A = this chain, B = another copy of it.
Amino acid sequence: MKKAVVLVSGGLDSATAFAVARSEGFECFALSFRYGQRHGIELDAAARVARTLGAAEHLVLELDLGRIGGSALTGAIAVPKDRDAADRAGGIPVTYVPARNTLFLAYALAWAEVIGARDIFIGVNAVDYSGYPDCRPEYIEAFERLAALATKAGVEGARFRIRTPLIRMSKPEIIRTGIGLGVDYGMTFSCYDPAPDGRACGRCDSCSIRKKGFAEADIPDPTRYI
């Protein structure tokens, strides 16, 4: 059975990417990170996703990003609320984490090389997204070129593929794809700034995009909001 490393954040997109990988017949090795996020709820969600979707293994790595700072997700900057699509079009938000996907993909590449996987699935999306530079197709292509040069396997002829099945989908399309593959989105978690009891704030960019996605897909949103 061919192997894939699947980046799993606990959110809606990565759960869908996992379901797509599984539907293509991959044995999935789930990879998550504890990187100084404000809360651990999303890692609980990642563990549920990995277990429910049948990961062969779920590796959670510690990342020291909090000591580098520079983001509302890892530092002392407040998470912005109640921004609409026009606000979100205004530039890269403070929730941007410097070089995050480059780090995530670098770890995924290391693990892929060790276990003999050639496919790395990541649920990035360049349509209904937060404006992060490392979610764009040209970024992914640059990482794929790098991976071939970076590794022993690459030098020996292997071609690593960074698989982004959602990159050109709208959020409603992503949700319909996942529902079609049997994903229960109730196990996923997207909020940047949840209440202490684990309910989603409903107002950060991530909640706003998620809510709108379910509404536009005409599918009931299973999220517990404040």
Contact = CB atoms under 8 A, between A and B. Distances in A.
Interface residues of A, number: 42
A112 B163 CA distance: 28
Given A114-B69, A149-B142, A62 B64 contact: yes
A110 interface: yes
A215 to B, nearest CB: 29
A140 to B, nearest CB: 9
A96 B152 contact: yes
Chain A binding surface, main DSSP class: helix
Copy count, this protein chain: 2
A152 B107 contact: no
Given A133-B154, A149-B136, A151-B98, A107 B113 contact: no
Contact of A150 (B59, B62, B101, B110): B101
Interface in A123-180: 133-134, 136, 138-139, 142-143, 145-147, 149-152, 154-155
A191 to B, nearest CB: 22
Contacts of A146: 102, 139, 142-143, 145-146
